[in-house]
Amino acid sequence: VYSTGSELKPPYLGDSFFLNAFTMPGVILSYLKMLLWPTHLRADYLIGPVDSVGGYVVSGIGLVVLIGAWLWVLKHRFVQRNDLLPAMALGWFLCFLLPVMNLYPIAHPMAERYLYIPCAGLFVLLGLTLNHLSDRLPTRMRAAFTGSLALSLAAFIALAQAQVIQCESSLSLWKQAVRCEPGSALAHGNLGAAYQDQGCLNEALVQFRRSMTLRPTPAMELNLARLKGEMEGSQDESIAAYEKTLSNLPPDSLDLPLMHHGLAIQLRKAGRLKEAIASHQKAIELKPNHSICDTKAMKAYWSLLMWQVSLVRD
């Protein structure tokens, strides 16, 4: 949902497969904490490579917990009781996490959406565990046990409702993300865009500049240029930024169609209609089936350009 630009192959954490692989068990521990008590959900997670003794200890503990849990389940449930379901549930969780464990580098080493399928296995295992505990409790304590589960469920519902409230608007969502991850360039950039949509241009400028300080990118440079043009009532700076970015992009960049389309919009706002049409045609030539060229809004934009040109000619 949130655009971070095209990344064909992001680097490994720490530019090292070893550091990257040693970091991810700690990420799985964070996933377990998130599933069992989701009090720290947010729109972006900053994951850095282990660079301290404490980080190595946490990752080592994570690796021991994962391997040890699976072996224990296999021994005590499958080997001794011929019950494969717990081992399959834990295996489901780990196997479906494997593709997003950054063994092949991906743009976001940790994200809540990666848990949608894996969590089914963990919740099956949790249900089996709770059922086993309930069977072993004395009858007089089962009511209290059931009551505690009901209270936990109520707490989960309350936490979920709190998260829904945070997601009611982009502004509240990214404000929370910046509070939780003040070092996230993505969070600051999206908060700036939310402020800009609300017309709070000075606040947007602060967030865009912070994002550029954390991680300079061509997309954020363009955001800054567009915002400054909007604040000054001039498109010259934005047009110059687009042209500079286009000149620096490689010929096979996936960003070229969108950049040409964005330049066309800025040229139209500046009244340079013929140049806008040429830039828009270039975007279509580069990627004629790009999603942005198939929308009704794109066709309406093209019609508006042609209509404005016809007025100028008349």
Average pLDDT over residues 223-235: 75
**Residue 2 binned pLDDT confidence (cut-offs 50, 70, 90):** very low
Alpha-carbon span 23 to 165, nearest angstrom? 32
Q: Tens of pLDDT along 127-169?
A: 888 888 888 888 888 888 888 889 988 988 888 787 777 777 8
Average pLDDT over residues 40-69: 81
**Residue 108 binned pLDDT confidence (cut-offs 50, 70, 90):** confident
Left if phi > 0, otherwise alpha if psi is -120 to 50, otherwise beta: which for 288?
alpha
Alpha-carbon span 100 to 116, nearest angstrom? 12
**Residue 118 binned pLDDT confidence (cut-offs 50, 70, 90):** very high
Give 3's contacts (C-beta < 8 A, 6+ positions apart).
219
Alpha-carbon span 77 to 80, nearest angstrom? 6
Q: Check if the beta carbon of residue 90 is closer than 8 Å to that of residue 70.
A: yes
Helix (H) or strand (E) holding 245: helix 236-248
**Alpha helical stretches, state H, 74-200:** 85-97, 118-136, 139-166, 170-180, 185-197
What is the sign, positive or negative, of the torsion defined by CA atoms of 184, 189, 190, 194? positive
* Cα-to-chain-centroid distance, residue 144: 40
Residue 222 clears pLDDT 80, i.e. is over it: no
Residue 179 clears pLDDT 80, i.e. is over it: yes
pLDDT in the model for residue 9: 60
**Residue 238 binned pLDDT confidence (cut-offs 50, 70, 90):** confident
Q: Tens of pLDDT along 154-163?
A: 988 888 787 7
pLDDT in the model for residue 289: 47
Q: What tokens were used for 95? A: 């196997």
Alpha-carbon span 234 to 49, nearest angstrom? 43
Q: Give 286 or 125, the one with higher predicted confidence.
A: 125
By C-alpha distance, which of 201, 207, 202, 208 is closest to 223? 208
Q: Tens of pLDDT along 69-99?
A: 778 777 776 666 777 788 888 888 888 998 9
Of 131-135, 201-205, 300-304, the poorest mean pLDDT is in 300-304
